[in-house]
């Protein structure tokens, strides 16, 4: 029977830098989806001839070849490799040869401790691109502190994994051969004292145990920055503590703890937040600042604080709700289980116990920058609103279970008026003549109000009007301003409403007209530019009035400035005023 045309053989041949086969290398075959996402589909170790065979269907694939020189089962001093084959199409049987001599860069790492002594420790690469979501080990430095490896060209973090150090070199450009030297100085790093609260460890009283700390570090933008390990032994009745040196920066750190019997390496003690109760698990993410001496203790109890940006609110106010979650050692936590969906079920009830918001997702926020904003319904009754959040997450087992926290705010009736607009009937008025001024005022509060509104022209009071308004109502005010006695010039019109007793917000009790009113020579309503005054009355103004003769406010070509005597009609009275002031200047 003929073989299915959808089943093809991909033979992968791996080589070392000297051209000999790369045996026992890890070969990862990724399927490349239409979206561009790569998903691991198959894994194999190369045989002694450096080969591995994969059976695949037609599609796009990519390869990662990893050989950690000097790591665990390999001899120190072996050369490490991290090689990537970019997406390729499979539509028939094919052979892929991975040859570092063609497309690889050489990385040389020299590592020393704070005292300048060579370090024989593990080195990992963490990509600055889309690959390597976690650090990949490329080898151990030799006894004199050196490691050589080859990697596909790109930008990487080089991570040195030392029990008491977390050091890395940013933006290493491996598009060419690179040498990296780790020579930390006391100015480069700071101590991070990492401790496990006694409540997080259980075991046999009096029995010493090993406690291995594993720390995954993430940069402030969420990029994986590397991981470090540290260990000590202790009696389970006491805290376990260890110093780690951390470079400067802002990081999130996620702790994994392994607790085992010193005398029996195969025996594991239960760490209380582990589920299932095996050797390792993740604790919540904590936030630290590298380069600053810090003390971090994992364990203890959990505290949650739900609060609002104010204690009392009025109509149209927005309530801002914040949820701050910390442990008993003062560490802030955002997503409690280290990246999975963690939330509180938020409910809000009104003074009668009616549900206003029912169990909506509400994430804790580490820096209190993203509160939940709640708009009080306008029809709500006044009184106390109760907000409740049930903080829940799988890793709350670490702290003894879920928490229910409450907060109360008061919705109270208020006094509040607002001036919303001020509008003169014209922008140019003849000196000694009148202009109508209109204003709109709103009672935004919950009480009937009586107050005065005072109007000003360039700060000079020109009118005061009494106002009586029911709650929720608005009204239009109007008066006529006689400009007699005012000099030629521009005048800014403004209005101020009295502050009523116990007013919640008086900032909107005043209003100013942005466009000034010009007081000028009677009849000066045009000039070289039609309809724009020029400081004198001449034939341009008379002609402009004649063109607008007999127009009224409902006329298509109405211009209020041409109604000089303010009687709502352009007629011979207005033309007579212009003639009487003919050739007058400001």
What pTM, to 2 d.p., does this model score? 0.44
pLDDT for res 138 = 82
- Give the N- to C-terminal CA distance of the chain in Å, as an integer: 108
What was the pLDDT predicted at 548?
Answer: 93
How many whole angstroms separate alpha carbon 66 and alpha carbon 123? Answer: 13
Burial of 122 (0-12, 13-18, 19+ CB in 10 A): buried
Q: β-strand 302-308 against 318-327: which pairing, if any?
A: antiparallel
Task: Determine the angle formed by the axes of helices 572-580 and 539-547, rounding to 10 degrees.
Answer: 180
Query: Per mean pLDDT, which range of 23-32, 226-235, 518-527 is the poorest?
Result: 226-235
pLDDT of residue 320: 87
Give 271's Cβ-side CA count (13 Å radius): 30
pLDDT band at 244 (very low <50, low <70, confident <90, very high): low
For the cut 70, the answer to whether the pLDDT of residue 276 exceeds it is: no
List Cβ neighbours of 471 (8 Å cut-off, separation of 6 or more).
443, 445, 446, 447, 448, 449
Q: Pick 259 or 65 by higher pLDDT.
A: 65
**pLDDT reading at 333 higher than 80:** no
480-531 pLDDT, tens digit per residue, is: 999 999 999 999 999 999 999 988 789 999 999 999 999 999 999 999 999 9
User: For the chain, which residues make up each domain, given as ranges?
Assistant: 8-98, 105-298, 302-411, 417-520, 521-586
Here the tokens at position 249 are: 């920066």
Q: Is a pLDDT exceeding 90 seen at residue 547?
A: yes
Q: Which CATH architecture has domain 8-98?
A: Sandwich (2.60)
* Segment among 147-156, 254-263, 426-435, 504-513 with least mean pLDDT: 254-263
Do the domains spanning 8-98 and 417-520 agree at the CATH topology level? yes
Could you tell me which residue, 162 or 53, shows the higher pLDDT?
Answer: 53
Please check whether residue 426 is in contact with residue 560, taking contact to mean a CB–CB distance below 8 angstroms: yes
pLDDT above 70 (res 397): no
Q: Which two tokens stand for residue 463?
A: 């009118």
Cα angle at 66 between 63 and 70, to 5 degrees? 175
Residue whose token pair is 């909506």: 360
Percent of the chain with pLDDT over 90: 39
Answer whether residue 584 shows pLDDT above 60. Answer: yes
* DSSP E strand stretches across 198-248: 209-219, 224-234, 240-247
Q: What are phi and psi of 572, to 5 degrees?
A: -65, -25
157 in helix, strand or coil? strand
What is Dmax (Cα atoms) for the chain? 117
Given the candidates 1.10.1330.10, 1.10.3720.10, 3.40.640.10, 2.70.180.20, the CATH classification of the domain at 521-586 is: 1.10.1330.10
Q: Encoding tokens for residue 2?
A: 């003929």
Domain 302-411: give its CATH superfamily: Macroglobulin (MG2) domain (2.60.40.1930)
Q: What does DSSP assign to residue 404?
A: E
CATH architecture for residues 417-520: Sandwich (2.60)
Residue 99 phi/psi, 5-degree rounding, is -120, 110
Higher pLDDT, 370 or 250: 370
| pLDDT higher than 90, residue 543 | yes
The CATH number given to 105-298 is 2.60.40.1120
Distance CA 298, CA 284 (A): 9
């Amino acid at each position: 029977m003929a073989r299915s045309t959808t089943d093809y053989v991909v033979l992968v041949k791996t080589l070392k830098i000297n051209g000999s086969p790369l045996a026992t290398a890890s070969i990862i075959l990724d399927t490349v989806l239409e979206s561009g996402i790569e998903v691991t589909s198959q894994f194999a170790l190369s045989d002694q001839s450096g080969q591995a065979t994969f059976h695949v269907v037609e599609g796009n694939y990519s390869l990662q070849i990893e050989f950690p020189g000097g790591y665990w089962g390999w001899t120190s001093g072996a050369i490490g490799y991290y090689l990537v084959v970019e997406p390729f199409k499979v539509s028939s049987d094919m052979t892929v040869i991975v040859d570092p001599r063609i497309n690889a860069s050489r990385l040389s790492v020299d590592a020393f401790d704070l005292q300048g002594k060579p370090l024989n420790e593990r080195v990992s690469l963490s990509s600055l691109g889309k690959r390597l979501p976690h650090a990949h080990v490329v080898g151990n430095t030799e006894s004199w502190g050196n490691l050589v490896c080859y990697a596909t060209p790109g930008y990487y973090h080089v991570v040195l994994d030392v029990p008491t150090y977390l050091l890395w070199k940013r933006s290493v450009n491996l598009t060419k051969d690179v040498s990296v030297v780790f020579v930390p100085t006391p100015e480069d790093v700071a101590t991070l004292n990492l401790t496990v609260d006694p409540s997080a460890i259980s075991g046999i009283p009096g029995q010493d145990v090993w406690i291995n700390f594993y720390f995954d570090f993430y940069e402030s933008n969420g990029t994986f920055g590397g991981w470090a390990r540290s260990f000590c032994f202790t009696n389970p009745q006491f805290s376990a503590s260890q110093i780690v040196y951390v470079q400067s920066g802002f990081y999130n750190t996620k702790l994994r703890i392994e607790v085992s019997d010193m005398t029996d390496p195969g025996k594991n003690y239960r760490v209380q937040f582990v589920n299932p109760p095996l050797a390792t698990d993740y604790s919540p993410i904590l936030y630290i600042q590298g380069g600053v001496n810090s003390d971090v203790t994992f364990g203890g109890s959990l505290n949650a604080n739900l609060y609002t940006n104010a204690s009392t609110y009025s109509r149209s106010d927005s309530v801002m709700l914040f949820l701050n979650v910390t442990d008993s050692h003062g560490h802030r936590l955002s997503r409690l289980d280290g990246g999975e969906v963690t939330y509180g079920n938020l409910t809000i009830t009104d003074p009668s116990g009616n549900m206003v918001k029912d169990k909506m997702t509400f994430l804790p926020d580490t820096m209190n920058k993203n509160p939940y904003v709640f708009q009080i319904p306008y029809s709500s009754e006044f009184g106390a609103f109760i907000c409740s959040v049930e903080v829940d997450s799988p890793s709350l087992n670490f702290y003894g279970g879920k928490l229910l926290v409450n907060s109360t705010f008061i919705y109270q009736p208020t006094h509040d008026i607002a001036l919303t607009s001020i509008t003169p009937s014209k922008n140019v008025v003849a000196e000694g003549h009148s202009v109508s001024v209109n204003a709109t005022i709103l009672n935004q509060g919950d009480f009937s109000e009586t107050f005065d509104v005072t109007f000003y022209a360039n700060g000079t009071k020109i009118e005061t009007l009494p106002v009586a308004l029911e709650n929720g109502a608005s009204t239009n005010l109007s008066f006529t301003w006689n400009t007699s006695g005012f000099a030629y010039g521009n005048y800014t019109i403004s209005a101020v409403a009295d502050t009523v007793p116990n007013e919640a917000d008086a900032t909107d009790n005043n209003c100013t007209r942005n466009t000034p009113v010009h007081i000028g020579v009677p009849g000066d309503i045009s000039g070289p530019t039609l309809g724009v005054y020029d400081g004198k009355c001449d034939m341009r103004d008379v002609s402009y009035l004649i063109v607008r003769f007999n127009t009224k406010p409902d006329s298509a070509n109405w211009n209020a400035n041409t109604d000089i005597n303010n009687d709502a009609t352009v007629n011979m009275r207005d033309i007579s005023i212009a003639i009487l002031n003919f050739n007058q200047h400001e």
